[in-house]
Amino acid sequence: MLQALRDKTARWIAPTILGLLIIPFALFGIEQYVGGRNDTYVARIQAPPTWWKSAPSFWPLSKLWTTDDISQQDFRQQFDQMRQQQRQSLGDAFDSQQFESADNKRKVLDQMIDVRVMLLATSRNGISVSDASVQKTINAIPNFQVNGKFDLATYQRTLATLQPPTTPEVFEAQIRDGLRREALAGRIALSDFVTPAEASRLTNALTEQREVQIVAIPAAVDTSPVSDAEAKAWYDAHGAQYMQPVQATFEVVDGDPAKITSSTIDEAQLRKQYDTDKAKYVAGNQRLASHILVAVAKDAKPEVVAAAKAKAEQLDEQAKAPGADFAALAKANSDDTGSKAKGGDLGWVAQDGSMVKPFEDALFATPKGAISAPVRSAFGFHIIQVRDIKEGKVTTFEEARPEIEKALAKTAGAKALNTSMGVLADEAYKNPASFAATAVAQKLPFEKIGPVVPAAVQGILAEPQVRRVAFSDNLLKNKGVSDPITITPGHSVMVHVVDYTPARQRPLVEVHDQVIADVRADRASKAAAARADAMIKAIAAGQTMAQVAAAQSLAVQPAATLPRGNVPTPAVNKAIFSIARPGAGKQSAGKVQLPDGGWAVFAVSAVKPGDPAAFPPEARAGLMQQIAQANGQASADGYVKATRKLFKVTVAEDRL
């Protein structure tokens, strides 16, 4: 009956909609033929309406679809940011030609498309994020804090120094989008819990034990002759073992601010800085707050607003009832996805304009322990609970002096260091031989290191990014000077190659003795492996480990019940737990090579089932969480791929 009803409904819905669209087509259809369009997108994501998922995408029905374009500017900005990150990470090893390849451009674009698909999905699923959640996330970012607290001036200054500079509005929109994607991923992950049965199977496997006997077969010393032909054949087949790595000698300047003598700051500078940042030293009032949000759009119809207000008033009445649990009410009813799971908790909120004005006014007008009447903002109606209060305090100049002096000295030192490093770079690029003299003249920390090979570097050369640049082919071959290599913000290193010897394969005559030793070691290992195979075959035929070991004049290690892990060694343990379980009255035998070239033969005679009760509860919970997270990520990735197939994605490759 339901299916029949759907069929009948479908038969009249589509014609009705098509009929309604005849008028706009007649009035505006000509634009498709006369008014040309100049599209500049690199990708266009189009989603059908949620109420008509099979809606055609041709005009004018395309007007029903939601369209999101990734512009050339969007793509270029993202691509440039990724180029800058990789160049900073790889230094001279960065390959700009490879980065600019069509494949890499498409990879970056696909990542951007996936993000836009998720954002469209959040809108279609009614996921929104309140201003309070956005602000709380921003407040928690250390780069925007002074003495552990969010500072508005620092926030605005930091955004202005980003590349490209970013406004608070743009940054907050980015944070909001990120929180929306997290909320969607969280919803998807809710279905990826680990059942008790799955956890039990896993802990059973992890706590399983095996009874085993082990015999070690040493690689006997081989003293038989090695012919010239054997030695040559081995050398040709294993040439990589006989390489002499590249060696180089470097001059290094480590521009670490901690190694630079601090500048002296006079009294006038200190007081001027205090006056400039005075607002920072006035701690505003703060409220420890929770809230319940009844979401309603600011342009909602009057009847929708009235319904939301009625709901808010009802919740307000429930929250103020004796013995009411505000956190439980928030978890059950709040539309703020950022704070709902935490019972509406917003943490400490400062009176600094970081919240929308109606919310902030109501928050700071509410006494400690009280709950406000519903107050409307652009996001809906808020019921606010004030759990605690911190009054403001002014930090005097003398109290702030050590902090100001330290900050100004650091800034002055960094400026001087930056100037000196700039002079070094300019002079050294013109004449690499002047590197050492310029470094000394600029009073920069300088040292000569080498000759060294990459595997043996120490100190600042051992930093991965410095080593990568120092031993890059381009720098070595040209005996050049590197660009400043960033270790941390404000700390950079420059390297000059004084001399180097390329990597080379050492000739056979030079490594002849080593080759002979390697051939003999290989013979000995193969002989031990053959003995192991013979023992395994005998055990399979029904002999005991004691019998086959005695036949080989080898000692059997005492039988042991082993758990999974590293006993007696990781490789041996892995081999023991990888072999099939033995049948009744039988043994499962195998072998594994030892680090010294010998072999170990093992025989598993019994398997003791795992005991989940032996698995510590904390470890069990942690294991379940790890598996759930992995499953959740896989589900989120799968959701994006599946959703992307439902949308229409158009890519303009020629505009990348």
Give tens-digit pLDDT for 525-551: 999 999 999 999 999 999 999 999 999
Distance CA 143, CA 410 (A): 16
In the chain the first and final C-alpha atoms are separated, in Å, by: 52
Percentage of the chain exceeding pLDDT 90: 39
DSSP per position, 73-101: HHHHHHHHHHHHHHHHHHGGG--HHHHTS
Distance CA 43, CA 20 (A): 30
Give pLDDT, residue 44.
Answer: 92
Residue 29 — pLDDT band, cuts 50, 70, 90? very low
Give Cα separations from 502 to 18, 247, 471, 479 (angstroms).
74, 7, 10, 12
Q: Residue 284 above 90 pLDDT?
A: no
Q: What is the pLDDT of residues 554-581, one digit of tens each?
A: 999 999 999 988 889 999 999 999 999 9
Q: Residue 20 above 60 pLDDT?
A: no
Give pLDDT, residue 281.
Answer: 76
- Mean pLDDT, the chain, rounded, equals 84
Give pLDDT, residue 190.
Answer: 65
Q: Residue 14 above 50 pLDDT?
A: no
Give Cα separations from 534 to 214, 537, 603 (angstroms).
15, 5, 13
Q: Residue 363 above 90 pLDDT?
A: yes
Q: What is the pLDDT of residues 315-331, one digit of tens each?
A: 999 999 999 999 999 99
Helix (H, G, I), strand (E, B) or coil at 517: helix
Backbone angles phi, psi at 558, to 5 degrees: -55, 140
Average pLDDT over residues 211-233: 94
Give pLDDT, residue 30.
Answer: 37
Residue 19 — pLDDT band, cuts 50, 70, 90? very low
Give pLDDT, residue 28.
Answer: 38
DSSP code of 481?
A: B
The reply to whether omega before 196 is within 30° of 0 (cis) is: no
Rg (CA), the chain: 35
Q: What pairing do the DSSP bridges indicate for beta strands 247-255 and 599-608?
A: unpaired
DSSP code of 568?
A: S
Q: Residue 139 above 60 pLDDT?
A: yes
Average pLDDT over residues 83-99: 71
Helix axes 267-276, 397-430, angle to 10 degrees: 110
The pTM for the full model equals 0.46
Give pLDDT, residue 2.
Answer: 30
List strand residue ranges (DSSP E) for 285-379, in order. Answer: 286-295, 345-350, 375-377
Distance CA 530, CA 640 (A): 53
Amino acid, res. 62: S
Average pLDDT over residues 9-23: 40
Q: What is the pLDDT of residues 92-128, one digit of tens each?
A: 666 666 777 888 889 999 999 999 988 888 888 888 8
Q: Residue 79 above 80 pLDDT?
A: yes
Nearest to 194 by CA among 615, 584, 625: 625
Percentage of the chain exceeding pLDDT 70: 91
Distance CA 183, CA 189 (A): 10
Give pLDDT, residue 415.
Answer: 83
Q: What pairing do the DSSP bridges indicate for beta strands 375-377 and 243-244?
A: unpaired
Q: Which residues contact 354 (CB under 8 A, 6 or more apart)?
A: 135, 138, 139, 150, 152, 360
Q: What is the pLDDT of residues 381-439, one digit of tens each?
A: 999 999 999 877 778 888 888 888 888 888 888 888 888 888 998 898 889 999 999 99
Distance CA 360, CA 351 (A): 7
Average pLDDT over residues 214-223: 93
Range of weakest confidence among 110-124, 172-186, 339-353, 624-638: 624-638
- In what helix (H) or strand (E) does residue 183 lie, and over which residues does it extend? helix 168-189
DSSP code of 194?
A: P
Q: Which residues contact 382 (CB under 8 A, 6 or more apart)?
A: 291, 292, 293, 294, 312, 359, 362, 372, 374, 375, 376
Amino acid, res. 101: S
Q: Residue 637 above 60 pLDDT?
A: yes
Q: Which residue has the higher pLDDT, 329 or 634?
A: 329
Distance CA 178, CA 185 (A): 11
Q: Which residue has the higher pLDDT, 210 or 160?
A: 210
Range of weakest confidence among 171-175, 587-591, 618-622: 618-622
